[in-house]
C-alpha cells in the first residue's frame, strides 16, 4: 500500500522505521482497511522520506507512550488534572477559524483538488464546498 501510494504521489517512501511499523501493527484499526489506507495516504501526501517515522504517524498512533498502548485491551492513559490558569484570549481562536485554516491548507497541499483534500480530511467534498460558500458570504467567517 505504501509503495503504491508513494509511486502515485511521486514520493521516495520505501518502508517503515521499526517503531512506526510496530505501532501500525499493534493498533486495533477500528475503521479496518479503509482507516489504514487513509492513514497511509495522509502520511504520503504530507511527507516525503525513505521511511515512515513515528513522527509522521497521526495522533492515536504517535501519542501512545509505547506500542503496547495502542492495543485494544490496554487501559486508557492516565490523565492529570490541571490547575486553572489565566488564558490569553488572543491565543485561542474560534473553531471555525481553525477549521478554515485546516481545510484551506489541505486544499493547497492537494494542489486545489477538493475531493482529494476532503478524502484526506475524512469529510465529504460537499462539506468543503458548503463551508467555503459560507466563508465567502460572511466576511467575518
**Structural domains of the chain sorted by starting position, each given as residue range(s) with its CATH number in brackets:** 2-70 (1.10.8.60), 91-137 (1.10.10)
Task: Please compute the mean of the pLDDT values over residues 26-52 and round it to a whole number.
Answer: 89
Mean predicted confidence (pLDDT) in 18-34: 89
Residues 22, 36, 33: CA angle, nearest 5 degrees: 120
Nearest to 50 by CA among 78, 86, 11, 18: 11
- What rounded mean pLDDT belongs to the chain? 82
Looking at residue 126, its pLDDT comes to: 92
pLDDT tens per residue, range 56-103: 998 888 765 544 444 444 444 444 444 555 666 667 888 888 888 899
Convert the pLDDT of each residue in 99-121 to its tens digit.
888 999 999 999 999 999 999 99
Query: pTM for this one?
Result: 0.47
Give the separation between CA 54 and CA 122, rounded to whole angstroms: 21
Task: Compute the distance between CA of residue 61 and CA of residue 78 in angstroms, rounded to an integer.
Answer: 17
In this prediction, residue 81 carries a pLDDT of 47
Task: Give the pLDDT score at 83.
Answer: 53
Share of the chain above pLDDT 90, in %: 45
Amino acid at each position: 500500500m505504501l509503495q503504491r501510494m508513494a509511486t502515485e504521489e511521486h514520493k521516495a517512501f520505501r518502508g517503515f522505521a521499526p517503531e512506526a511499523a510496530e505501532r501500525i501493527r499493534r493498533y486495533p484499526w477500528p475503521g479496518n482497511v479503509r482507516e489504514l489506507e487513509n492513514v497511509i495516504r495522509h502520511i504520503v501526501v504530507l511527507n516525503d522520506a525513505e521511511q515512515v517515522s513515528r513522527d509522521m504517524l497521526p495522533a492515536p498512533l504517535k501519542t501512545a507512550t509505547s506500542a503496547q498502548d495502542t492495543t485494544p485491551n490496554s487501559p486508557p492513559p492516565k490523565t492529570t488534572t490541571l490547575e486553572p490558569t489565566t488564558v490569553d484570549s488572543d491565543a485561542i481562536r474560534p473553531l471555525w477559524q481553525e477549521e478554515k485554516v485546516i481545510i484551506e491548507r489541505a486544499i493547497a497541499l492537494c494542489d486545489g483538488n477538493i475531493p482529494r483534500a476532503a478524502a484526506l480530511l475524512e469529510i465529504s467534498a460537499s462539506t468543503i464546498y458548503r463551508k467555503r460558500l459560507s466563508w465567502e458570504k460572511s466576511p467575518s467567517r
